Structure 1
Amino acid sequence: MKNIIFGLTLPTVLLFTSLCVGASDVVKLSNSGICHDENSAWFEKTKSFTIYSSLEKCIAAGGRPTKSNGNKKANQSPTSVNGIPKYVRSDYAHWSDFDHDGMNTRHEILEDMSLSIVKYSSNGNYVQRGRWNDPYSGKTFYKSSDLQIDHVVPLAFAHYAGAWRFSKEEKELFANDASNLLPVQSSLNQSKSASPPTEWLPPNLKYRCAYIYHFDRVMKKYKLTYKSHQLRTMNKMKAKCKG
C-alpha cells in the first residue's frame, strides 16, 4: 500500500491553523480538559494546551466549558443544526462495562491490543503498563497514561453523518465498538478532534492509506454518509492509495 501525503502533514495543518485563526478566535483546551476562550480568567495562565478555532469545536473534541461559558451555552446554543439535533457527547455513553467485570471498554482495548503481558492496577480493573504500537505516530508506548483511545470515526462527526438517528442503545454500542477504537498518542488524538480524513491524517505516512480505508469501513458498517465534498475527496484519496 502506497505512502501518501495529500498535502496534510501535521506541521502544515498546525501552521495553517496558527495563521488562519485570529487571536480572538483561539480557544485553549487545557490538559485538565477545560475549554478556555479569551473571556476565561485562566486563558492567559493556561500554558499547556491544544488550540481550537471555536468553543464548539473544543467541546466536540471532548473538552468541557468553564462554568461561565457553560451557563452561556445553555442559554444561547441552538438545539439543532440544520434540523439535526445538536451533538451532545454524553448521549454516546462510552467506556461502558457491558460484561460487568469491573473493566471498562478503554481498558479492555488496552488489554487486547497490548503486544506484551499487561500490568494491572491493584484491583485489576485498570491497565497501567503494556506495549502498544501507535499507528498514528509510528511510536511504541509502554504506559497507558500516555495513550488515549481514539474513535477512528469521531463521535461528533458520526452524529452529523447520521448517528443522530440511532437509539440510545445503538449510540452506546457505536461509542464502544472495538472496530472503531485505537490506542494512540494523546496529543494526536487531541489534534485530530472530530475531523474526517479530508481534514486530518496521521503524521505516520505509512499508515495513511490504512487509516483512510479503516475510517471508510466504519462509515459503511453504520450506514453513515459523507457530505458531497467529503465523498469526492475520500474517493480521490482511495484512488491514490490504489494507484
Structure 2
Amino acid sequence: MKAVLAAVLSSAIAVVAIPPGIPSESTARSLLSSLTVAPTVNDGTYDRDLFPHWSAVEGNCNAREFVLRRDGDGVTVGNDCYPTAGTWTCPFDGETHSVPSDVSIDHLVPLHNAWMTGASEWTTAEREAFANDVDGPQLWAVTGTTNSQKGSDAPDEWQPPQTNIHCKYAAAWIQVKSTYDLTVSSSEQAALEEMLGRC
C-alpha cells in the first residue's frame, strides 16, 4: 500500500516547467487587442534554413540544450552542455520523458507561421534571434510526437490536448506575436480569445 501511495504521489508532483515571460490574462488581452489582424500569406517561399536555429546562447550551450537544462527536473549536463540525466514533463500532453532525445524543443509560434505573418521581411539575424529566443515564452520542451502533430499550426488549427495549459499557451502565443510584431489572422484571434476565456 505504501509503495502504491508513493507511486501516486510521485506521479502527482511531476515538475512541469513553463517558459519565462508569459503575461497575465489581462495583459494578454490588452496585447491581443493591439495586434494587427491580417490574412496569413503563404507564398511558398518559406524554408526552415532561413531561420538559423539552435545557435549558441550561453557559453557552450545552444538554444536546444539551454531549454533542456532550463525546463527539466533534476537535469545534469556534461561539458558539452548536453543533458546526462533528468526528466522532462511536456506541458502540452502531460507525458514525462527521461531520455533527452525524446524531447523536442517547440517553437511556440512556428517558424513557418512567423514567416507567413511578417518574418519574411526580417533580416537573417532577426530570424535567428527569433528562432533561439530563450528569454521569452517562445521555446518549450515537449513530446516529439505532440510537436509533430502541432506542426506549423496556429491556435485556430491546433491546441494542446491538456486543456489546463490553454490559458498560458494563448498568453504566451500573444506575447511572442506582440514582441516580434507579427500579425494574426481573424480566426487565430478568435481562437486566442476563446482560450483566454479558460483562464
TM-superposed deviation, 1:170: 0.4
Q: Which runs of 5+ in 1 are unaligned?
A: 1-80
Bigger mean CA deviation after superposition, 156-165 or 226-235: 226-235
In angstroms, what is the RMSD of aligned CA positions? 2.1
Paired residues, what number?
158
- Percentage of matched positions with identical amino acids: 31
The 5 A counterparts of 1:89-168 are: 89-99=48-58, 101-120=59-78, 123-168=79-124
Taking structure 1 as the reference length, what is the TM-score of the superposition? 0.60
TM-superposed deviation, 1:209: 1.7
Taking structure 2 as the reference length, what is the TM-score of the superposition? 0.72
Larger Rg: 1
| Structure-2 residue corresponding to 1:88 | 47
Q: 1:84 touches 1:164 (CA, 8 Å); kept in 2?
A: no
Q: Deviating runs (4+, > 2 A) in structure 1?
A: 81-85, 232-238
CA distance in 1, matches of 2:180, 2:130: 8
- 1:111-142 Cα shifts (integer Å, max 9, x gaps): 1222213243xx53422421222101112222
The one-letter amino acid paired with 2:56 is D
CA distance in 1, matches of 2:158, 2:99: 26
Q: 1:114 touches 1:132 (CA, 8 Å); kept in 2?
A: yes
Q: Identify if the C-alpha distance between structure 1 residues 169 and 182 changes in structure 2 by more than 3 Å, giving closer, same or farther.
A: same
Q: 1:95 touches 1:176 (CA, 8 Å); kept in 2?
A: yes
Q: Secondary structure at the match of 1:219?
A: helix
TM-superposed deviation, 1:83: 8.5
CA distance in 2, matches of 1:91, 1:182: 21
Residue 204, structure 1, aligned to residue 149, structure 2: no
CA distance in 2, matches of 1:241, 1:165: 34
Question: Quick one: higher RCO (CA 8 Å, sep 6+), 1 or 2?
Answer: 2
CA distance in 2, matches of 1:83, 1:189: 21
Q: Which runs of 5+ in 2 are unaligned?
A: 1-39
